[in-house]
Structure 1
Amino acid sequence: MLFVAGVVALNLYAIALVLLRAAVYRTRLYRPMLWNVWLSVLPILILILGMLLAALVGQIDGRLAPPALVLSGIVWLLLLPNAGYLITELNLSHRDEDDPVPLWYDLILGITLAMSGVVNTVVNVLLVHVFVSLAVFGDEVAAVNRPESWIAVAAVLLLLGFGMYLGRYLRLNSWDVRHPVAFARKAAAHFRIRGNLLACVGFSLTYALFIGLIYVIIAGLVLGTFEALEAVRASA
C-alpha cells in the first residue's frame, strides 16, 4: 500500500506544481502538462477496468473472458506511450525567453513530471508482467522471472519507446489509429526523410533501455520481496 500511495502522491505533486506555477508566478496555466499527467495515468485505469470487465463477463460466459482481456490489452498497449511521454517534458519547451518563472522551479517541475511518467510506466508494465506471467505459467511468484516473461517486458518497452517517438516527433496520438490510412501516410512520409529512421531507432532503444533499467530496479525489489515472503510461507 505504501508503494501505491507513493505513486499517487507523485502524480498529485506534479499536478500541484503545474497549478502553483500559474498561481504563484501569475503566468498562464500550461494545460497540456495537466492533460499529459491524466493520459499518463489512463493506461493504469484501462488495465484495471479491463481486468474487472474480463472477470465480470467470465462469470456470465467463460468464453468471453479471453477476448475481453485481449481487447483491453490492445487498448492498454496503444495508450501506454502516454505514460512515458511525460519524460520528454524535460525539454522545458513550455518556457518563454522572458518567462517570470525561475529556472529552478521549472527544473523541479520537469523532473517531477518525468519521474511520474517513469513510475506510471513501471506500474503499468509491472501489473501486466505479473498478471500475464501468473496466467500463462502458473500461480507461483517465480513465474514472473521466467525468461519468456522478461523477453515480453523488453518487447513492450521497445514498443513504448517507438510510441513515444511517434508522439514527440510526428505528433501522433494513440487515438489516431482510428484513421489508419492517414496514420500510415504520415509515418511513411516522415521515415522517407533521410536520417529519421536511424533517429527513431536510437530514440526507441535509448528510452526503452532507460525505463528498462528503472523497471529492473523497482520490479526487482517488489518481486523479490514477494518471492521471499512466499519462501518463508512455504517453509513455515
Structure 2
Amino acid sequence: MKQLTESPRFKITLLLISMTLFCLSLSVFRYYISETKVFFFLNWNLFLAWIPLALSSFLVAFTIRSKISLSLIIVVWILFFPNSPYILTDLFHLKVRSTIPIWYDLIVILSYAWTGLVCGFISLNDIEKRLSEYCQGTVVNGIVISFLFMSSFGVYLGRFLRWNSWDILNNPFGLFNDIVVRFIYPLEYTKTWGVTILMGVLLNFMYFTFKLVKNNNERIVQPENINNL
C-alpha cells in the first residue's frame, strides 16, 4: 500500500483528481453566484478528456500481449484523444458578462483547459511508452507527431463542424464525407488546414516541452545523481 501511494503514477492521478475537483468547484460557485449554467458544459468536456487517460492507464496497468487488442485500444484512444486539447478552444466562449467578471471566467476556462491538456499529454506519454516496446525511437516520435496533428484535425472537426467522438458510430458516413472532401479538395478548405497545421505545431511544441521537463526531472531524482550531489 505504501509503495502504491508513493508511486509517481498515484501522485499524478491524485493531482489530476484534485485539479478536476477544483474545476468543478469553480463552475458550481459560478452557478451559485450567477444562477446560470453557462460553463457547465466544461464538466462534460473534461469528462471526455479523462477517457484517453483511462484507456492508456489500462494499458499501463495490464500487460496486453496481443498486438491486435493493443491496436484496437489505441484506435479507440485516438478517437477520444482530441477531447483533451479541445478545451483550449473553449476560450472562444470568453466574453464580458454582467453577472460574473471576465477574469473569473478566464480562470474557469483555463483551469479546465489545463487539466484536460495534462490528462491528454500523460495518456500520450503512456501510449508512446507502449509503442516503444515494438518500434524504434525515431519511428515512435514520428507516430507521436502524427497523433498530435490528427488530434488538431479532430479539434477542428469538433469546434467548427460540431462533430464529436461518438459520431463515428452515430453518423459515420456524414463524418467520413466531411473528412474525405477536405483531403480531395484541400485548397477549398484553407481554414481546415490552417487550424490543423498551426494547432498541430503548437501541440507538438507543448507536448515535447512537457516530455523534456518530465524526463529532466526523472534524471535529477535518480539515486546515482543524488549521490553525486
Q: Which amino acid aligns with 1:36?
A: N
Normalised by the length of structure 2, the TM-score is 0.81
Q: Which amino acid aligns with 1:106?
A: D
Equivalent residues in 2 for 1:203-218, closer than 5 Å: 203-218=195-210
Match of 2:73 in 1: 72
| Aligned-pair CA distance for 1:27 | 2.2
Q: Distance in 2 between matches of 1:23 and 1:203?
A: 36
Equivalent residues in 2 for 1:47-196, closer than 5 Å: 47-50=56-59, 52=61, 55=63, 65-92=66-93, 99-133=98-132, 135-137=133-135, 146-178=137-169, 179-187=171-179
Point out the more displaced range, 172-181 or 152-161.
172-181
Q: Which amino acid aligns with 2:19?
A: L
Quick one: percent identity of the two aligned structures?
Answer: 21
SS at structure 1 position matched to 2:36: coil
Q: What are the Cα deviations for residues 33-57 of structure 1, in whole angstroms up to 9, with x where unaligned?
A: 111010011111122235556x3xx
Q: What 5-or-longer segments of structure 1 have no aligned partner?
A: 138-142
Q: Distance in 2 between matches of 1:186 and 1:78?
A: 16
Decide whether the 8 Å contact of 1:161 with 1:207 is kept in 2.
Answer: yes
Q: What 5-or-longer segments of structure 2 have no aligned partner?
A: 1-7
Match of 1:36 in 2: 45
Q: Distance in 2 between matches of 1:31 and 1:46?
A: 25
| Aligned-pair CA distance for 1:12 | 2.2
The change in CA–CA distance for 1:78 and 1:154 in structure 2 (over 3 A counts) is same
| Aligned-pair CA distance for 1:24 | 2.5
Aligned pairs, how many? 217
SS at structure 1 position matched to 2:99: coil
Q: What are the Cα deviations for residues 171-230 of structure 1, in whole angstroms up to 9, with x where unaligned?
A: 111121123212223446778999762111111122222222221222112223445666
SS at structure 2 position matched to 1:100: coil
Q: What are the Cα deviations for residues 70-121 of structure 1, in whole angstroms up to 9, with x where unaligned?
A: 111110010101111111111126x6x7541111110111111221222122
Normalised by the length of structure 1, the TM-score is 0.79
